[in-house]
Structure 1
Amino acid sequence: MGTAAKYKVILVDDEPIILRSLQAAIGWEELGLTVVGTARNGESALKLIGEHSPDMVISDIRMPGMDGIALMKEVLSGNPKRIFIVISGYGEFEYAREALRQGAFDYLLKPIDHEELTGMLQRAAAQLDARAENERLLHSVKALSVMARERMFSEWIEGNDRPLGHMQWMENSELEQDYVMAVVQLDRFLRLNEQWLPDEKRLWLFAVRNILEEWSLQHGALTVFPFHSGEWIVVFAADGGTDHVRLGNDLILQINKYAKLSCSVGISRVFKGIGQLSAAYRSATQALYQRFYSEREGVFAEREEQPNEARPTDLKYPKQVESDLLESARTLDLQRMEAAFDDLKLYIERHAAAKETAERLLVEIAVVLYRQLEYANLLADWPLDGLLQALHEAENLQEAISLLKNAAARQMEESRRSQAKEDGRSLIEKAKLYIMNHYHKDLGIEEVAEVVDLSISHFCTLFKQVSGYTFLEYLTECRMEKAKYILKNTGVKVYQIASMVGYQDPKYFTQVFKKTTGRTPSEYREESSYLV
């Protein structure tokens, strides 16, 4: 037994000398025990037990008021696993035998033999150790069983029809009846995932799981478990009288109320048998596709297919919408552009495409429009990467279309203002923007001067006046900043970076980089890695 006290003991006797003797003569710490309190009668002992919740009580049988047997009954009724040892005189053996029948661990006769008591305490502590170990093992087995069950269900959902063959003992008869699957997905999870720190993410997902498990117990769900990050599965019996859409709405309210998070729920059609879990999951996620066409969270159920029900046709690329968008960009016709995007929205809605399909189409449209504006030198401040990421994170079609509309409108309005005021500063800003978009090419001053319709000499003078740099200095600065970004954030080799930022000769690129920054590209990358 270690020296650290693991179990708490309370001593009860109406004779103070016995209490003092017990405290002083027994090596409590060596036994892994600590005396947390003493009492001289049963009533005081009950109060101490309520305050300290001891693991063990040692009490005299004969005491004024509540005797030891009455105290033991009260104590063990509250916690049957608590160790209770009684002390009795030679003339009170019948009391001691009654105490054993009522659940006492052992009895000790007066006068107390301290060695005998020490042995008794060792056996009592060993019993407490064994109970603690059994409870730990039982908890581990239960946790393993839950994990294995969830893993088995996940395997079936992912299409493996022979999951975990060594666990065929697991009960799955509840899925032999008709059931309905609900897939719960956090709205805007991609955005939340970027905002949350790792510890915050674990805390939020743990909180949602607790809410789901408690709610599922209250509503008789067959099983509930997390499937993907930000996604949980709940399976209900399909008894015919249950309104699963109503249950889904209640679940959304609970998560919103207690976790302050928004989610949507997809409800599958009715399935039967564990082998249909994969089909049920596809059905529920198919229902969730409708979330893309809704402007708020909700419950979306997949309908049973009718025999001759028309199915959506494939989503083909809308060439006419693309043509209208490109013409509106070329002519800076904002009204025509908005109408074209409205037509695009109607086209996607009419085909009821899945979010991933619609997203691919919107990305293609965004890139085509970007290239048209770039070709016409009409780009002002269009962070294409950021727009594409925002499209990916858009929760619904309306949000995605609005993102495209707003981005294109900003470009067109900026281009209008630029055309209305082509003074010296705006011309140089136009030149700088052109340099930023073409720095990776073999860019010469003649080309940029032609873009802003100035002679080379006039351009050189005006560029230095407005920007404070010569053309070559500015171009070099742009290239070096991009090179530093690539070095710091990627593993691209130095000789490959040279051509990416406009230098065909890697050695010359290294010379320019060192002259500009005071370090070689490799040295810069190494220093940057230490700062991360």
Structure 2
Amino acid sequence: MRLLKLVIVDDEPILLQGLLNTYDWNSMGFQVAGQAQSGEQAIQVIKEVKPDVVLTDIRMKQITGLMVMEEIQKTDLDCLFIVLSAYRDFDYAQQACDLGAFAYLLKPIEDKKLEETMRSAYKTCIERMENEEKYESWENLLVKDHNSFLQVVIQKYVQNRILQERMEEVFKILGDIPGNEDRFITVCVDIDLTYKITNSLDYEASRFALMKHLEEVIGNRFFFWKIEGDEGNAFIIRTTDKGAVLELKRILEQIKRDGQSPVVAAISKPYKGIAGLKKAYVEARKLFEMASISGASAFTASEDVEVTEWEEPGTDVDNLIISAVRKNNLKGLKEAFVQLIYSLPNEEELQCKYLHHIMLKTEFMLQSSYGLTEEIEEKFRNYYYNLENLNAAKMVDVCYKILCDAIEERKNMSEKDTTRYFKDYISEAAAYIEEHLQDENLSIVTVAAHIYLNPVYFGRVFKNTFHMTFKKYLMQQRMEKAKKLLQEGSGSIGDICEAVGIHNPSYFSHLFKQYTGKIPSEYKKEYEV
């Protein structure tokens, strides 16, 4: 075990020696690297030793433990403080927590509580160190392979997940700022999505072969970054060649002649600068969508094509619809279909093609995730079979109903799968709650920590399982236990309050009456012989 440095502070010599000699600090992951008998001495020792954890008393003469924490916060030292306080010093403990104390322990210290706290502090420190080491590794990676790093950043930039200023900063750090002659061109290319219907087995293989061939052919002629996505792949090309667009078009035309599967592609115009990098990507993406709907094998922007301003990811109607289904969001789906109605082209033939394109993409998303049951799949099949009999207005209605059904099916499957998968976790949580009802501090956080689940996620799973919130369930269990104890005549009201973790008798009576309609004494009389 990697031992971390610990400093112990207490202005009572006897207590300090007790802390130093009584506990096996090594077994908890620490070596005592320093000690101090005053706040002033503690500040000096901490600055010299640079410990990972400081265990300090709060109430000390002249310079208190709080003052020590405040002073250390002014430095660049990064250590955890665990504070010791008597019960009467509770206000001090609250102030310590406000200053960022990791934990506080009441005197006299319980051995088990101390050990749990120290092990938790050890784990926190180790995780922080590992994260710092990872950060250093990333810095080294940035130096060794800046092109791979740059590709990741560029993908975030063109997808509007980082600002242009940050992108410029990255280019500047790497010493690779685009020059006056640099142009950016984006090529979006993929196998036509409809090919998957008639040649589903060959679709993925053809798609893989196409991308590998493009990487080789384009790479032999240009420097590029590849942006991968569900909507096809994009090659962002950086070049000073003014004839690059024509050459790229020749490359794509040759690939189409050589291949057996239909290729859909779009090429942007060349644009200057970092702003032009994004503009090229946006233009190619929009042209690619148009090419996909029309079934064109290549689509190149003419010189008079104007690109609209960059929109937030997911604002295109088809992406909004697919995103709503993916997130099982019925409200979002309804809003997306309202936008769809207003954004459809005027020609009915194009309207039908666009709707068909959306349904294809949504079905493929369902296939790659979950929710495409035999019943939903049959609805898609019936839709495709009856396409010729549907006008655009009827098609919108049919598509909306199918996707609503798909969302409902996904929601049912998600809840069932989650409940089944976490069955043992929830059983253990319920047992832990029953065993610790007397603990006034029992909460969703403590129970989630016991079964090693994130509290937010645990709360969601818990509610799906019991069909009530954790808070309501905990109160129900406490009231049911109180009812049982009152029926048995076991102890006084004060004893029952302690047993169910509600230590204030007045508050307990208020809650009990809310739950049963009677105060505890009235309820108890009903069961007296």
The two structures have a TM-score, normalised by structure 2, of 0.31
The two structures have a TM-score, normalised by structure 1, of 0.31
